[in-house]
Structure 1
Amino acid sequence: MIWIVLILVVFAILIIGISIYAANFFLNVALFRHNNWYDKTGHKMMNPDNFNKGKSHYDLTEEKQKQQGDIFWQQSFAEDHWIETDGEKLYSRLIIPHPESKKWVICVHGYRSFGQRDMAYVASKFSEQQYNILVPDLRAHGKSTGNIIGMGWLDRLDLLKWVQEVIAFEPTAEIVLFGGSMGASTVMMTSGESLPKNIKGLVVDCGYSSVYSEFGAMLRSAFKLPAFPILTIANVLAKKKVGYSLKEASSVAQLAKNQLPILFIHGTGDKFVPHQMLYENMEATSGVKKSLIIEKAPHLSSFIYEPEHYFATVFEFIHRYC
C-alpha cells in the first residue's frame, strides 16, 4: 500500500513540475515580444491560415486590398504621430483626409501585428465615408517600444490616451473605435472604462472573450495540451511576469459595464479565436448590439471574404446607432 502512495506522490510531483514548466514556456511564447520559438514554429501552429496562402480568389482580394491600403497609408495627409507613456514611445499613423469633418475612427490591429498591416485598408474605407483616422501600433508591436504584450488589458489604457490625442486635435470629434483580433478585445476591454462622450460606438471583429479563455483554446487546438492545470498555473505566474492575470483581462467583464452600441463580427472559419466567443461577448453587453457572421472566413478575414457586405453592414450600423 505504501508503495502505491509513494508512486502516486511521485507521479503528482512530476505532473506539477511538467505543468509549471509548460505554463512558464507558454507565457514566454505568448506574452513577450521577442521569442524565437514563436517566430519559427509557434505562429504557424497558432494561426495556420496565415501560412496557407495561394492564388485563390480570396488571396487575390487580400493582395489587392493590401496594395490599396499601402497607397492610402502614404498619402500626403498622413503623418507619423508619437506619444510617450510609462517609459515607452508609442507610435500611430495620423490620417486627416477631411480636415473639416468631425467624424473620427481609431483602428486597432491584432496580436503580433501592426497598424499598417491590419488596418490600412480599413482606414481607406473609413476615409471614403468622410472619416479622419488614427491607427496606433500597440505597445510591444510595430514601431512602438515595449516587450510585454498587453493582450488588450494593458492596451486599453493606452487606447484611452489615443482617444485624448484625437480630442486634442478636434474637441468635438465623434469617435468610433474599431478593432480586429486583439485590437477588438482592446476595444471591448476599453468599453468598461470611463469614456468621454466623444466615443459614439464600437466595431469589434473576431475578439476573444478573455485572455484566459483564448489561451485555453490555443493550448487545446495548437499545442494539443489540456488547459488544466497548465492554464491555472499560468494565470498565477502571469501576475508576476507581466503585471496582470489572464482572468482579469476579460472582455466579458468589461462589456458588462458598457452602454455604447457595438457591432460584433466573426468568421466561422476562425482557427485562432473560436467564433463562439462572439456570443459570449454579445451576451455580456447591455448596449445596442448587432452581429455579422461571415461563413467560412478565417481569422480577421471577413472583409476579405465578403468585402461589400462587410463594409455596408459596418457603415449602416454606425450611421444608424452611432
Structure 2
Amino acid sequence: MKWIVLILVILFILVVAVSVYAANFFLNVALFRDNNWYDKMGHKMMNPDNFNKGQSQYDLTEEQQNQQGDIFWQTKFAQDHWLETDGEKLYSRLIVPHPESKKWVICVHGYRSYGQRDMAYVASQFSNQHYNILIPDLRAHGKSTGNVIGMGWLDRLDLLKWIQEVVKIEPHAEIILFGGSMGAATVMMTSGEELPVSIKGLVVDCGYSSVYDEFGAMLRSAFKLPAFPILTIANIMAKKKVGYSLKEASSVAQLAKNDLPTLFIHGTGDKFVPHQMLYDNMEATNGVKESLIVEKAPHLSSFIYEPEHYFDTVFEFIHRYC
C-alpha cells in the first residue's frame, strides 16, 4: 500500500513539473516577440494553411490582392505616422486619399503579422468607398517596438490612442474599427472601453473569444496537449510574466459592454481560431449585430475566398447601421 501511495505521489510531482515546464514554454513562445521558435516551427503547427500554398484559384487571388495592396501602400497620399507611448515607439501607415471626407477606418492586423501584410488590400477597398485609413503595427509587431505581445488586451489601450490620433487629424471623423484575427480581438476588447462618439461601428474577422480559450484550442490542436492543467498554470504565470492574465483578456467580457453595430466574420476552415468562437462573441454584444460565414475559408482568408460577397456585406452593413 505504501508503495502505491509513493508511486502516486511521484507521478503527481512529475505531472506538475512537466505542466509547469510546458506552461512556461508555451507562454514564452506565444507572448514574447524575441522567441524565434514560433517562426521556425510554431507558425506551421498552429496555422498549417499558410504553408500549403499552391496554384489554386485562391492562391492566385491572394497574390493579386497582395500586389494591389502593396501598390496602394506606396501611393503618394500615404505616409508613416508614429506614436510614442509608455516608452515604446509605435508605427502606423496614414493614408489620406480623400482629405475632404469625414469617413475613416482603422485597420488592425493579426498575430505576429503587421499592418501592410494583413490590411493593405483591405485598406484599398475602403479607399474605394471614400475612406481615409490608419493602419497601425501593434506593439511588438512590424516596425513598432516592444517585446511583450498583448493579444489584444494591452493593444486595446494603444488603439484608444490611435483613435485620438485620427480625431486630432479630423475632429469630425466618423470612424469604423476593422480588425482581423488578433486585430479583431483588439477591436472587440476595445469596444468595452469608453469610446468617443466618433466611433460608429466595428467589423471583426476571425477574432477569438478570449486569450484563454484561444490558447486552449492551440494546445489541443497544434501541440496535442490537454488544456488542463497546463493552461491553468499558464494563466497564473502570465500575470507576472506579461502583466495580464489569459482569462481577463476576454473579447466576450468586453463585448458585453458594447452597444455599437458589429459585423462578425469567420471562415469555417479556420484552423487557427475555431469558427465557433464567432457565436460566443456575437451572443455577448449588445449592439446591432450581423454575421458573415464563409464556407471552407481558412484563417483570415474570407476576403480571398469570396471577395465580392465579403466587401459587399461589409459596406452594406456599414451603410445600413453606421
TM bucket (normalised to shorter chain) is over 0.9
**DSSP-derived class of the 1:283 partner:** helix
User: Which residue number corresponds to residue 254 of structure 2?
Assistant: 254
Q: For residue 36 of structure 1, report the CA deviation from its aligned partner.
A: 2.2
The answer to whether residue 213 in structure 2 is matched with residue 221 in structure 1 is no
User: Which residue number corresponds to residue 313 of structure 1?
Assistant: 313
**DSSP-derived class of the 2:280 partner:** helix
Amino acid at match of 1:289: K
User: Which residue number corresponds to residue 105 of structure 2?
Assistant: 105
User: Which residue number corresponds to residue 73 of structure 1?
Assistant: 73
State the alpha-carbon separation in 1 of the partners of residues 36 and 140 from structure 2. Answer: 15
State the alpha-carbon separation in 1 of the partners of residues 254 and 161 from structure 2. Answer: 18
User: Which residue number corresponds to residue 46 of structure 2?
Assistant: 46
The answer to whether residue 249 in structure 2 is matched with residue 274 in structure 1 is no
Q: CA offsets, 1:188-218, max 9 Å, x none?
A: 0000000000000000000000000000000
**DSSP-derived class of the 2:25 partner:** helix
Q: RMSD across aligned C-alpha pairs, in angstroms?
A: 0.3
User: Which residue number corresponds to residue 130 of structure 2?
Assistant: 130
Amino acid at match of 2:166: V
User: Which residue number corresponds to residue 180 of structure 1?
Assistant: 180
Amino acid at match of 1:58: Y
Amino acid at match of 1:83: L
Amino acid at match of 2:210: S
Q: CA offsets, 1:139-158, max 9 Å, x none?
A: 00000000000000000000
| TM-score normalised by structure 2 residue count | 1.00
Q: For this pair of structures, how many residues does the alignment match? A: 322
Q: For residue 3 of structure 1, report the CA deviation from its aligned partner.
A: 1.1
User: Which residue number corresponds to residue 16 of structure 1?
Assistant: 16
User: Which residue number corresponds to residue 301 of structure 1?
Assistant: 301
State the alpha-carbon separation in 2 of the partners of residues 263 and 285 from structure 1. Answer: 11
Q: For residue 37 of structure 1, report the CA deviation from its aligned partner.
A: 1.5
State the alpha-carbon separation in 2 of the partners of residues 40 and 230 from structure 1. Answer: 23
User: Which residue number corresponds to residue 240 of structure 2?
Assistant: 240
State the alpha-carbon separation in 2 of the partners of residues 278 and 136 from structure 1. Answer: 24
Amino acid at match of 2:77: F
State the alpha-carbon separation in 1 of the partners of residues 200 and 36 from structure 2. Answer: 41
Amino acid at match of 2:273: V
Q: For residue 87 of structure 1, report the CA deviation from its aligned partner.
A: 0.3
State the alpha-carbon separation in 1 of the partners of residues 303 and 37 from structure 2. Answer: 30
Amino acid at match of 1:92: S
Q: For residue 89 of structure 1, report the CA deviation from its aligned partner.
A: 0.2
Amino acid at match of 2:213: S
In structure 1, the gaps of 5 or more residues are none
State the alpha-carbon separation in 2 of the partners of residues 39 and 311 from structure 1. Answer: 31
Amino acid at match of 2:100: E
Q: CA offsets, 1:170-194, max 9 Å, x none?
A: 0000000000000000000000000
Amino acid at match of 1:305: Y
**DSSP-derived class of the 1:111 partner:** coil
State the alpha-carbon separation in 1 of the partners of residues 145 and 27 from structure 2. Answer: 19
Q: For residue 2 of structure 1, report the CA deviation from its aligned partner.
A: 1.2
Identity %: 86
Amino acid at match of 1:14: L
Amino acid at match of 2:316: E
Q: CA offsets, 1:236-269, max 9 Å, x none?
A: 0000000000000000000000000000000000
**DSSP-derived class of the 1:184 partner:** helix
The answer to whether residue 6 in structure 2 is matched with residue 33 in structure 1 is no
In structure 2, the gaps of 5 or more residues are none
Deviating above 6 A after TM superposition, structure 1's stretches of 4 or more consecutive aligned residues are none
Amino acid at match of 1:28: N
Stretch of structure 1 that moved more, 158-167 or 27-36: 27-36
**DSSP-derived class of the 1:263 partner:** strand
User: Which residue number corresponds to residue 231 of structure 1?
Assistant: 231
State the alpha-carbon separation in 2 of the partners of residues 62 and 314 from structure 1. Answer: 19
State the alpha-carbon separation in 2 of the partners of residues 140 and 37 from structure 1. Answer: 16
**DSSP-derived class of the 2:107 partner:** strand
| TM-score normalised by structure 1 residue count | 1.00
